[in-house]
Amino acid sequence: MRVNLSLNQIVQELGGTVSGEGELEIYKVGSLALAQQGAIGFFNNTKYTAQLNNTHVSAVIIKPEHKELTSLPKIITDNPYAYFAKASQLFNPILETASGIHVSAVVDPDATVPNSCSIAANAVVGASAVLGERVVIGVGSVIERDCTIGENTMLEANVTIKHGSRIGVHCHLFSGSVIGNDGFGYAEEGGDENAKHWVKIPQVGNVVIGDHVDVGANTTIDRGTIDDTVVEDGVKLDNLIQIAHNCRIGAHTVIAGCVGVAGSAIIGKHCKIGGAAMILGHLNIADDVTISPGTMIMRSIQKSGTYTALMPLQEHSAWLKTAVNIRQLSQLTERIKALETAAADAKNINKI
Amino acid sequence: MRVNLSLNQIVQELGGTVSGEGELEIYKVGSLALAQQGAIGFFNNTKYTAQLNNTHVSAVIIKPEHKELTSLPKIITDNPYAYFAKASQLFNPILETASGIHVSAVVDPDATVPNSCSIAANAVVGASAVLGERVVIGVGSVIERDCTIGENTMLEANVTIKHGSRIGVHCHLFSGSVIGNDGFGYAEEGGDENAKHWVKIPQVGNVVIGDHVDVGANTTIDRGTIDDTVVEDGVKLDNLIQIAHNCRIGAHTVIAGCVGVAGSAIIGKHCKIGGAAMILGHLNIADDVTISPGTMIMRSIQKSGTYTALMPLQEHSAWLKTAVNIRQLSQLTERIKALETAAADAKNINKI
Amino acid sequence: MRVNLSLNQIVQELGGTVSGEGELEIYKVGSLALAQQGAIGFFNNTKYTAQLNNTHVSAVIIKPEHKELTSLPKIITDNPYAYFAKASQLFNPILETASGIHVSAVVDPDATVPNSCSIAANAVVGASAVLGERVVIGVGSVIERDCTIGENTMLEANVTIKHGSRIGVHCHLFSGSVIGNDGFGYAEEGGDENAKHWVKIPQVGNVVIGDHVDVGANTTIDRGTIDDTVVEDGVKLDNLIQIAHNCRIGAHTVIAGCVGVAGSAIIGKHCKIGGAAMILGHLNIADDVTISPGTMIMRSIQKSGTYTALMPLQEHSAWLKTAVNIRQLSQLTERIKALETAAADAKNINKI
């Protein structure tokens, strides 16, 4: 299903200006380094000028200030990378899913499912669930009772949405994700060692997800204890992320894979959280904060900026020494203090 | 489905003493800070006295020693947080699931499924599986052959229990959890670079889970290599946890999200393991150990206490310097030693 | 289903030499420390000589250079651990799954499914999917359109394979794993704070998995952005691993649980990556690299060896001081420099 578009046709759809042969036909996007004839690439950064000079692509998406760097046919725009994303969407239209309910799907008679929806094999839609127009429910996915799913939202195969979850429009939930699972809340009871045990705190809040939110494969978002867990508009979550109960993730924040966000953390808008980072509970993270991958956030962050907590990488033999040194840092500090005192004493003695 | 209970009715169910208007009706639990009239909150710690003074809740669960701190109607008990958990259970009873086997479920004729069980749509129960009374199997969940599931245990949607697993009574397994998966065991074979490859070691032990155990969404517990992987009574596991083969998790231990426990680790009773912590294989952790979030445990821990291994958080520019300094810690130590030697020499020279 | 084999029968199947009573019957494998009569154990390392002396097993797999260390009947071979793995396979044959398509499975008429395949209850096989001989598809697993699954490959229950994935022969995919999920790729657009949002970059590459690859429970492997994500022959992946788009994992590399590999990382052959390690995007890792558990890899590694980045474990009170000291490392370094300058000055003054 190859889509051919001339540069003129692309700018007609997406804006920007053509420079060079506007009737040149393109049929795919690709990187300057790897793609071949027929592809359009993008150039964003003079660091990659060598790639631009040696590329085999047929045309380039480029900023106004870089347009003289290549004689290739080009589309000039302020944000070549976003333009590239949209061009790729043109060349790779989402396959339309036929509407209708598969014979093996189980849809509760009390659920609202417009005719434009697509409910795949073995999917289950519970009582009083309300689906918007053109919602797609993948194979084996489960929508429990009292859920709301907005228009054009798509669930891939084997997604689980627990009762009462509310999901906005144009969301995309990937396989194995679990929305609205019970939060992890227990109170310890019983004083002595043999009687101590945990009493479950019912989790009666819901999960509320805004519009244009993506939730990666096997990512989990827990329901609130009393109030709701909230994921605002435009948030993008990668795979294997845990969002605990009562969290709020601010609009357009992106979180990379394997991140954990503990209970009641409030994350600002437009944050960028690196893979395998961890945010402790009951913290506030300001808007526009970048957290480096693998970084544990142990306190609230009031100020936009980039934050990091990482051990530097070493060969194992060097690290073994470092580990000993780190354990002895307090003594090391004491020894420096002693040297300083001795030096000050010596100076005074010399003065006398 | 609102439940109204007077303070007197609550203490009749849960114990404790009413002080103030015992006929006051409550219909939900809530936090002192956020909840409104009709709710009951709890007060545990004088750190929150301001919240107690400004709360809009109608009644408070409080310790005997704090009862003078508020004039609100109250229930007096030694453990307000556990009492709050139980009160919430009263106001939020678990919806009863209708018993019976959904027409789309596939139950092997050799499986034992009492009439009081509920087997949801598309669930599959394998040969010789034995379910106790009132077991609930969620939509799309799979119980393979030769499993035992104790009374009142509940599996949410899309849970997978592999063959031969034994699960106690009153357990709660959440969506996407996988119990009894093959452990990760391989032996390397073939000396030279081109022939080297891994030979699988069959994993023929089982998983044995005690009573009152909760297993979070997308959490995995692997079967033992030869003997069983064991999770003792009252253990609570959050989401996205990996418990590897041959582990034993002691009774009433709680493990927060994203934790990994490597093979053959033995964890004591009543431990508290923070989110994204990691415990290496073949270690022993004593009873009542607390492990801080994000902490890698590299050696056995013989003594109860709190253990931590975390890089402190810094702005990225400050961290860049720290990383360099950490790499140079050995040289730094050498320089201090040289200064100490020089100072000692100087002292001796001066003495002469 | 007990399998009895004499030592002679075992060496007939697996090679090696019997020393002692060749007609001795064995029915299982076990560890020297725990196993009982009727079991065969292995001995690899003189560190465990005490275990060998006190063992209750009936026979031992042992290296030629250790054969004098025990008078037990033995099988002599160069690699006792790999031999043990294969012996265990003999005593624990994989249960054959009856071929055929369960009545509740949904197989597209355009899919290719040989008669020797086994398609379990509620499994779904999409259009133009091509399965090899003896492929086993577990309960509730989903193979989307245009996938290829090689001979003898086995999918456990609730596996999801997205469209266009190609999987080799003799692979084993465990429950909850998701292959071919969209990679995490977005371009930011909209200059000012209120308009900024993310534009999705279509992920049109596939996932290509070689032969003899194992993929653990709830592990995710994302499809490439333009080209494919590749997992080469013999790779073994544990549970809850994230392999991002465009990665290449070299042949016979093993990755333990909870690891994240970010986008476009290229990992060499025969690497060993410890649990909860994290590899940043666009890095190259050489062949035969070992990465310690919990280690964040922030730069490419050109040389085989073992690499580590870990904070040492401390009691929490000691760690609190360490954390302060680490934050002050730059000042500490300055203070040492000042002492060195002062010492040099003092020396010069003394010289005068």
Over its C-alpha atoms, chain B yields an Rg (Å, rounded) of 27
Q: What is the pLDDT of residues C94-132, one digit of tens each?
A: 888 899 999 999 999 999 999 999 999 999 999 999 999
CA-to-CA distance for B224 and C171, rounded, in angstroms? 21
Given a cut of 90, whether residue C322 has pLDDT beyond it is yes
Q: What is the pLDDT of residues B55-75, one digit of tens each?
A: 999 999 999 999 999 999 999
Give me C206's structure tokens.
Answer: 């596939």
List of chain A residues whose C-beta atoms are within 8 Å of the C-beta of residue C226: 28-31, 34-35
Q: Does the distance separating the beta carbons of A199 and B85 come in below 8 Å?
A: yes
Q: What's the gap in Å between the CA of A99 and the closest CA on chain B? A: 22
Q: What is the pLDDT of residues A180-221, one digit of tens each?
A: 999 999 999 987 778 899 999 999 999 999 999 999 999 999
Question: Minimal CA–CA distance to A259: which of C222, B275, C263, B316?
Answer: B275
Average pLDDT over residues B90-109: 94
CA-to-CA distance for A316 and A318, rounded, in angstroms? 5
Give me A311's structure tokens.
Answer: 């051990």
Closest chain C residue to B244 measured between Cα atoms? C257
- Average pLDDT over chain C, rounded to an integer: 95
Average pLDDT over residues B73-85: 97
Q: Does the distance separating the beta carbons of C258 and B278 come in below 8 Å?
A: yes
Closest partner CB to C312 (pick from B124, B309, B322)? B309
Give me C282's structure tokens.
Answer: 């666009």
pLDDT at C345 (0 to 100):
81
On the CB side of B18, how many CA atoms lie within 13 Å of its CA?
18
pLDDT at B299 (0 to 100):
96
Strands (E), A95-234: 100-101, 106-107, 118-119, 124-125, 130-131, 136-137, 142-143, 148-149, 154-155, 160-161, 166-167, 172-173, 178-181, 186-189, 197-200, 207-209, 214-215, 220-222, 229-231
Strand partners, B199: B187
List of chain A residues whose C-beta atoms are within 8 Å of the C-beta of residue B214: 200
On the CB side of C333, how many CA atoms lie within 13 Å of its CA?
17
Strands across the sheet with A266-267, in order? A130-131, A148-149, A166-167, A207-209, A229-231, A248-249, A266-267, A284-285
Share of chain B above pLDDT 70, in %: 99
Closest partner CB to A330 (pick from C193, C321, C336)? C321
CA-to-CA distance for A291 and A273, rounded, in angstroms? 5
Q: What's the gap in Å between the CA of C94 and the closest CA on chain B? A: 9
Lowest model confidence (mean pLDDT) among A155-164, B276-285, B333-342: B333-342
> Are the CB atoms for B127 and B106 separated by under 8 Å?
no
CA-to-CA distance for B161 and B15, rounded, in angstroms? 38
List of chain C residues whose C-beta atoms are within 8 Å of the C-beta of residue A323: 310, 312
CA-to-CA distance for A315 and C287, rounded, in angstroms? 15
Closest partner CB to C86 (pick from B144, B199, B244)? B199
Average pLDDT over residues C294-304: 97
Q: Which residue is catalytic, options A66, A212, A245, A252?
A: A245
Residue B136: how many other CB atoms lie within 10 Å? 24
List of chain B residues whose C-beta atoms are within 8 Å of the C-beta of residue A336: 336
Q: What is the pLDDT of residues B220-252, one digit of tens each?
A: 999 999 999 999 999 999 999 999 999 999 999
CA-to-CA distance for B114 and B136, rounded, in angstroms? 11
Interface test with A, best of C101, C229, C264, C308 (most A CBs within 10 A): C308
Given a cut of 70, whether residue C61 has pLDDT beyond it is yes
Q: What is the pLDDT of residues B260-304, one digit of tens each?
A: 999 999 999 999 999 999 999 999 999 999 999 999 999 999 999
pLDDT at B20 (0 to 100):
96
Q: Does the distance separating the beta carbons of B216 and A218 come in below 8 Å?
A: no
List of chain B residues whose C-beta atoms are within 8 Å of the C-beta of residue C35: 226
pLDDT at A203 (0 to 100):
97
List of chain A residues whose C-beta atoms are within 8 Å of the C-beta of residue B157: 124, 142, 144, 160, 162
Interface test with A, best of B316, B325, B349 (most A CBs within 10 A): B316
pLDDT at A95 (0 to 100):
83
Give me C313's structure tokens.
Answer: 């474990």
> Are the CB atoms for B26 and B10 separated by under 8 Å?
yes
Strands across the sheet with C248-249, in order? C130-131, C148-149, C166-167, C207-209, C229-231, C248-249, C266-267, C284-285
ipTM above 0.85, yes or no: yes
Average pLDDT over residues A77-84: 96
Interface test with A, best of B258, B317, B348, B349 (most A CBs within 10 A): B258
User: Helix, strand, or coil here: B188?
Assistant: strand
Residues of C with catalytic function: 245
Q: Does the distance separating the beta carbons of B336 and C314 come in below 8 Å?
A: no
- Average pLDDT over chain A, rounded to an integer: 95
Closest partner CB to A298 (pick from B29, B239, B313)? B313
Q: What's the gap in Å between the CA of A42 and the closest CA on chain B? A: 30
List of chain A residues whose C-beta atoms are within 8 Å of the C-beta of residue C181: 156, 174-175, 216-217, 239
Q: What is the pLDDT of residues A105-127, one digit of tens each?
A: 999 999 999 999 999 999 999 99
pLDDT band at B352 (very low <50, low <70, confident <90, very high): low
Given a cut of 90, whether residue B191 has pLDDT beyond it is no
CA-to-CA distance for B311 and B239, rounded, in angstroms? 24
Given a cut of 90, whether residue A343 has pLDDT beyond it is no
Q: Does the distance separating the beta carbons of B226 and C29 come in below 8 Å?
A: yes
Q: What is the pLDDT of residues C8-18, one digit of tens each?
A: 999 999 999 99
- B: neighbours with 3+ CB pairs under 8 Å? A, C
CA-to-CA distance for C165 and C185, rounded, in angstroms? 19
C290-323 as b/e, with b when 16 or more CB fall inside 10 Å?
A: bbbbbbbbbeebeeeeebbbbbbbbebebbeebb
pLDDT at A262 (0 to 100):
98
Residues of B with catalytic function: 245
